[in-house]
C-alpha cells in the first residue's frame, strides 16, 4: 500500500557562547529566582524538528488496482497549509514536570521563539506533549488528529535538546469498501452504521471517505450494522457484527463481502484488515506508513444445509419452517417412504457439532421417542455407539459419530424416519426437528424441519384413476379376473387378496356383502356387518374387530391405515373369510366401491360360489 508521507523539518538555531562564571553556569543564567546554579539546566532548540506522519490514504474499492488516494479535507485546526502540507506551527505544545506543573503551554511556533535562547529549567524529568488540536472530535469524516509525547531530563549546568518529535494519528480511522458489483445489488439507501464509543457515522455502499473516531477508552468496541434492501426485490438486508479491542492510532479497513449464496439467499460478512502506522518512515519511499497489526482469519463459509428438491421448507434462526405434509402418496404398499428426504450438509471448516431437538404437538410421539431411548435433544456427533439411540438413529438414516465429525460435506437420507411418523404406527400432528450445526471455526447455523401428519385431511392431488385388482392366481394357475361374470368356486386354501390404489387419495372404501345364503344376522354373529366403509369406521369396537389380525380378528386395513392413502398400509386379505363361507352353500358377492378424494368412483365385485 502506497501512503502519502510528508516530512516537516523545522530548525531553531541559537548561537551559544559560553563565557564561564563563578559557579560554572553559562552566562544565559536563569531568570526564575527559584532556580539556582545548583539545580539548573537548559532546554535548547538544537536538533529540534517536528515531523508528522500524515494519513492521506483511503482505498476506494476492494477491487481497485489503481494507485489512487483520497486526500483528507482540512479540519479547522489544520486549515493552514503550505503547498498541501500541514501547518505544524499551529500544533499545541505543553511541557510539564514530574509533578504535573506546567512550564510551557502554547503553539509550536511560540515554543520555537522561546527557545531562541536556551530555556532554564530545574533539574528533573519533564514531558513534552504535542497535539494538532485541542480536542479530538467524537466522530467526523476525513478528520485525522495527530499527537506525540516525549520525555526528557534536565541535568545540572547542561544543555538538553528535544531532537526529533514524530506526531502520529491519535483517533481511530475506519473505512468501508464495497465492490461496485456488490453495491449494485443493494438499494441506494442501504448503509452501514459504524459506532465506536457511542459515536456513529453512516457509510453508504459507495462511500469513499474515511471516518475518524475519538478513542474514548484504551480499548474500544466497534459495532457494525448494515441495513437496507436489495435493489431488485426490496427484500430487507440486515447484518450486524462487533469488533473488539479497537485502539487509538489504528485503521480498521472493513470490506463488505458475501459469506455465501445458496439458491438466491445471500448472507453477508465483513473482512477486517487492521493497521498501525510505522515507527520509521523513509522519505520519498513507496513504502506505506501503515503496517498491518493483524488480519482477521480468512473467511470460511459457515455451515449450510439444504433439502434436495424441497426449496423453501427449511426454517432458520429467524424464520419458522414451512410445514411439509406427509401424504399417502408418499408411501408404497409396504409402508416405506418414497418421497426423497435427502439432506446436504456443507461445513467448510469441518463439522464439530450437529445438535437435533425434536418437538411435537402430539405428546404420544414424544413418549414414543423415550421408549426408543431417544432424548428430545441430542448431538449426532457425540452419541455413544454403545447407546441404544445410536442404533435407532442409524436405522432412520442419520449420520453419526466419526462419520460426521470433521466432515466438510455429507449427504444423508432420513426417509427411514417417515414411516414412524405416518404408518408405523403414525402420529398426527406437527413434528419439528431443529438443527444447530457448529463448525470447527465456531461458526454456527440453525435450521428447522417441520413435518405435518394429518391423515384425515389430505388433498393428495393425484391424477390417476382409482383401481381395484384381485391379486394372485386361481387353483388352475390362471390370474384372477375380478371382472369375470362366472363366480369362482371356493376352496379351503383359496387366496382372496384385493389391491386398491387411488392416486388422489382414498376417500372411502365401501364393502357390501350380498348373499342370499349368508344373511346379515349370520354375518353379525361372526362380528362383521353386511356393509361397512373401511376408511371411515366410527364404531371403535367394530374397527378393532375388523383391524385385529387373525385369528382374533380379520386383519383388514381400517381408518388411518387406508384413509387418504394412495394404497392401504396392508392389502385387503379376505382369505380368512373363506373358512366362514364354506358353510354357506350358494353365491356370495362382495361388492367393492372405491372413491378417491376427487370424487372419482370405481365399483368391482368379487364373485364366489360354494357348492357343498
Torsion of CA 355, 320, 442, 358, to 10 degrees: -10
Q: Exposed, middle or buried: residue 246 (CB in 10 Å: 0-12, 13-18, 19+)?
A: buried
The pLDDT of residue 21 is 32
Q: Are residues 190 and 155 in the same domain?
A: no
The pLDDT of residue 33 is 56
Measure the CA–CA gap between 127 and 109, rounded to whole angstroms. Answer: 18
The pLDDT of residue 12 is 28
Structural domain range at position 88: 37-168
- pLDDT score of 275 more than 70: yes
- pLDDT score of 281 more than 70: no
**pLDDT per residue as tens digits for the range 577-593:** 787 788 888 999 999 99
Q: Exposed, middle or buried: residue 222 (CB in 10 Å: 0-12, 13-18, 19+)?
A: buried
**pLDDT per residue as tens digits for the range 119-133:** 999 999 999 999 999
Q: Are residues 444 and 358 in the same domain?
A: yes
Most confident of the ranges 160-169, 290-299, 323-332, 490-499: 160-169
Instruction: Name the CA radius of gyration of the chain, rounded.
Output: 44
Beta bridge partners of 164: 49
CA 406 to each of CA 259, 349, 352, 394, 466: distance values in angstroms, whole numbers, following the listed order: 20, 8, 6, 18, 49
**pLDDT per residue as tens digits for the range 38-50:** 789 999 998 899 9
- pLDDT score of 225 more than 50: yes
| DSSP 8-state code for residue 169 | E
Mean pLDDT to the nearest integer, 333-347: 87
The dihedral sign for the CA sequence 377, 379, 384, 389: positive
Q: Are residues 274 and 206 in the same domain?
A: yes
Q: Are residues 246 and 312 in the same domain?
A: no
| Residue with more model confidence, 375 or 280 | 375
CA 392 to each of CA 34, 66, 395: distance values in angstroms, whole numbers, following the listed order: 93, 61, 5
The pLDDT of residue 572 is 86
Q: Are residues 348 and 472 in the same domain?
A: no
Q: Are residues 164 and 77 in the same domain?
A: yes
Measure the CA–CA gap between 350 and 346, rounded to whole angstroms. Answer: 8
- pLDDT score of 199 more than 80: yes
Q: pLDDT over 90 for what percent of the chain?
A: 40
- pLDDT score of 60 more than 70: no
The pLDDT of residue 462 is 53
Q: Are residues 311 and 430 in the same domain?
A: yes
| Residue 81 domain flag | yes
Domain C-terminal end among 265, 295, 325: 295
Q: Are residues 176 and 139 in the same domain?
A: no
| DSSP 8-state code for residue 72 | P
Domain C-terminal end among 152, 168, 184: 168
Beta bridge partners of 104: 95
**pLDDT per residue as tens digits for the range 598-612:** 889 999 999 999 987
Measure the CA–CA gap between 394 and 337, rounded to whole angstroms. Answer: 16
| Residue 124 domain flag | yes
Domain C-terminal end among 168, 199, 230: 168
Measure the CA–CA gap between 171 and 289, rounded to whole angstroms. Answer: 16
**pLDDT per residue as tens digits for the range 13-37:** 232 223 233 344 444 444 555 666 6
| Residue 460 domain flag | no
- pLDDT score of 260 more than 70: no
| Residue with more model confidence, 162 or 181 | 162
| Residue 30 domain flag | no
| Residue 10 domain flag | no
Phi and psi torsions of 526, nearest 5°: -105, 10
Mean pLDDT to the nearest integer, 70-81: 35
Q: Are residues 263 and 236 in the same domain?
A: yes
Measure the CA–CA gap between 312 and 2, rounded to whole angstroms. Answer: 48
Measure the CA–CA gap between 337 and 205, rounded to whole angstroms. Answer: 49
| Residue 268 domain flag | yes
| Residue 202 domain flag | yes
The pLDDT of residue 182 is 84
The pLDDT of residue 581 is 80
First to last CA, the chain: 106
Measure the CA–CA gap between 144 and 168, rounded to whole angstroms. Answer: 9
The answer to whether 212 and 140 are in contact (CB under 8 A) is yes
* Cβ neighbours of 194 (radius 10 Å): 24
Q: Are residues 421 and 315 in the same domain?
A: yes
Domain count, the chain: 4
Q: Read off the pLDDT band of 302 (50, 70, 90).
A: confident
Tell me which of 182-196, 284-298, 348-362, 500-514 is least confident.
284-298
The pLDDT of residue 36 is 62
| Residue with more model confidence, 495 or 296 | 495
Most confident of the ranges 136-150, 249-263, 314-328: 136-150
The dihedral sign for the CA sequence 518, 532, 463, 326: negative
CA 317 to each of CA 279, 321, 370, 447, 559: distance values in angstroms, whole numbers, following the listed order: 46, 10, 27, 7, 38
The pLDDT of residue 348 is 85
The answer to whether 344 and 411 are in contact (CB under 8 A) is yes
Q: pLDDT over 70 for what percent of the chain?
A: 83
Q: Are residues 474 and 603 in the same domain?
A: yes
Q: Read off the pLDDT band of 198 (50, 70, 90).
A: very high
Mean of the per-residue pLDDT values of the chain: 81
The pLDDT of residue 593 is 96
| Residue with more model confidence, 565 or 305 | 305
Helix (H, G, I), strand (E, B) or coil at 277: strand
| Residue 371 domain flag | yes
Q: How many CA atoms lie within 13 A of 537 on its CB side?
A: 26
Q: Are residues 308 and 427 in the same domain?
A: yes
Instruction: Say whether the peptide bond before residue 425 is cis (omega within 30 degrees of 0).
Output: yes
Mean pLDDT to the nearest integer, 506-512: 93
**pLDDT per residue as tens digits for the range 91-109:** 999 999 999 999 999 999 9
Measure the CA–CA gap between 308 and 469, rounded to whole angstroms. Answer: 35
Amino acid at each position: 500500500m502506497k501512503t502519502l508521507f510528508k516530512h516537516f523539518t523545522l530548525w531553531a538555531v541559537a548561537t551559544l557562547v559560553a563565557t564561564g562564571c563563578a559557579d560554572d553556569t553559562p552566562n544565559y543564567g536563569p531568570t526564575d529566582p527559584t532556580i539556582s546554579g545548583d539545580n539548573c539546566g537548559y532546554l535548547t532548540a538544537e536538533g529540534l524538528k517536528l515531523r508528522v506522519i500524515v494519513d492521506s490514504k483511503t482505498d476506494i474499492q476492494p477491487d481497485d488496482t489503481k494507485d489512487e488516494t483520497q486526500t483528507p479535507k482540512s479540519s479547522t485546526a489544520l486549515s493552514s497549509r503550505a503547498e498541501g502540507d500541514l501547518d505544524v506551527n499551529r500544533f499545541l505544545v505543553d511541557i510539564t514536570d514530574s509533578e504535573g506543573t506546567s512550564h510551557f503551554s502554547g503553539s509550536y511556533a511560540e515554543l520555537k521563539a522561546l527557545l531562541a535562547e536556551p530555556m532554564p529549567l530545574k533539574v528533573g524529568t519533564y514531558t513534552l506533549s504535542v497535539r494538532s488540536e485541542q480536542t479530538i472530535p467524537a466522530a467526523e469524516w476525513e478528520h485525522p488528529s495527530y499527537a506525540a509525547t516525549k520525555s526528557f531530563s534536565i541535568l545540572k549546568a547542561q544543555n538538553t535538546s528535544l531532537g526529533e518529535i514524530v506526531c502520529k494519528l491519535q483517533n481511530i480511522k475506519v473505512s468501508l469498501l464495497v465492490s461496485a458489483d456488490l453495491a449494485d445489488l443493494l438499494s441506494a439507501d442501504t448503509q452501514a452504521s459504524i459506532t465506536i464509543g457511542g459515536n456513529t457515522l453512516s457509510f453508504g455502499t459507495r462511500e469513499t471517505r474515511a471516518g475518524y473516531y475519538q478513542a474514548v477508552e484504551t480499548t474500544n468496541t466497534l459495532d457494525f450494522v448494515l441495513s437496507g434492501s436489495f435493489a431488485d426485490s426490496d427484500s430487507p438486508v440486515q447484518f450486524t457484527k462487533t469488533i473488539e479491542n479497537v485502539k487509538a492510532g489504528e485503521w480498521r479497513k472493513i470490506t463488505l463481502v458475501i459469506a455465501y449464496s445458496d439458491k438466491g439467499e445471500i448472507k453477508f460478512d465483513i473482512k477486517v484488515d487492521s493497521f498501525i502506522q510505522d515507527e520509521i518512515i523513509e522519505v520519498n519511499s513507496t513504502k506505506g506508513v501503515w503496517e498491518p497489526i493483524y488480519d482477521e482469519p480468512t473467511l470460511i463459509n459457515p455451515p449450510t444445509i439444504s433439502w434436495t428438491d424441497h426449496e423453501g421448507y427449511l426454517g432458520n434462526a429467524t424464520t419458522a419452517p414451512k410445514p411439509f405434509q406427509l401424504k399417502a402418496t408418499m408411501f408404497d404398499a409396504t409402508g416405506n417412504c418414497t418421497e426423497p428426504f435427502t439432506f446436504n450438509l456443507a461445513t467448510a471448516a469441518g463439522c464439530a457439532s450437529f445438535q437435533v431437538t425434536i418437538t411435537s404437538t402430539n405428546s404420544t410421539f414424544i413418549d414414543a421417542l423415550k421408549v426408543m431411548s431417544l432424548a428430545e435433544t441430542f448431538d449426532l456427533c457425540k452419541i455413544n455407539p454403545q447407546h441404544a439411540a445410536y442404533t435407532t438413529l442409524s436405522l432412520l438414516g442419520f449420520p453419526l459419530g466419526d462419520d460426521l465429525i470433521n466432515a466438510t460435506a455429507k449427504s444423508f437420507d432420513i426417509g427411514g424416519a417417515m414411516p414412524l411418523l405416518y404408518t408405523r404406527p403414525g402420529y398426527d400432528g406437527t413434528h419439528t426437528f431443529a438443527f444447530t450445526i457448529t463448525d470447527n471455526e465456531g461458526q454456527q447455523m440453525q435450521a428447522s424441519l417441520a413435518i405435518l401428519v394429518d391423515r384425515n385431511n389430505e388433498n393428495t392431488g393425484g391424477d390417476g384413476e382409482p383401481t381395484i385388482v384381485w391379486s394372485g392366481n386361481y387353483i388352475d394357475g390362471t390370474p384372477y379376473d375380478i371382472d369375470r361374470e362366472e363366480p369362482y368356486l371356493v376352496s379351503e386354501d383359496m387366496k382372496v387378496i384385493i389391491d386398491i390404489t387411488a392416486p388422489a387419495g382414498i376417500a372411502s372404501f365401501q364393502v357390501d356383502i350380498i348373499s342370499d345364503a349368508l344373511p346379515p344376522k349370520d354375518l353379525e354373529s361372526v362380528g362383521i356387518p353386511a356393509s361397512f366403509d373401511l376408511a371411515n369406521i366410527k364404531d371403535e369396537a367394530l374397527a378393532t374387530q375388523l383391524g385385529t389380525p387373525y385369528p382374533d380378528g380379520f386383519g383388514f386395513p381400517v381408518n388411518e391405515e387406508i384413509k387418504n392413502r394412495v394404497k392401504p398400509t396392508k392389502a385387503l386379505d379376505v382369505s380368512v373369510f373363506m373358512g366362514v363361507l364354506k358353510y354357506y352353500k350358494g353365491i356370495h358377492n362382495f361388492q367393492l366401491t372405491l372413491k378417491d378424494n376427487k370424487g372419482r368412483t370405481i365399483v368391482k365385485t368379487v364373485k364366489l360360489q360354494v357348492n357343498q
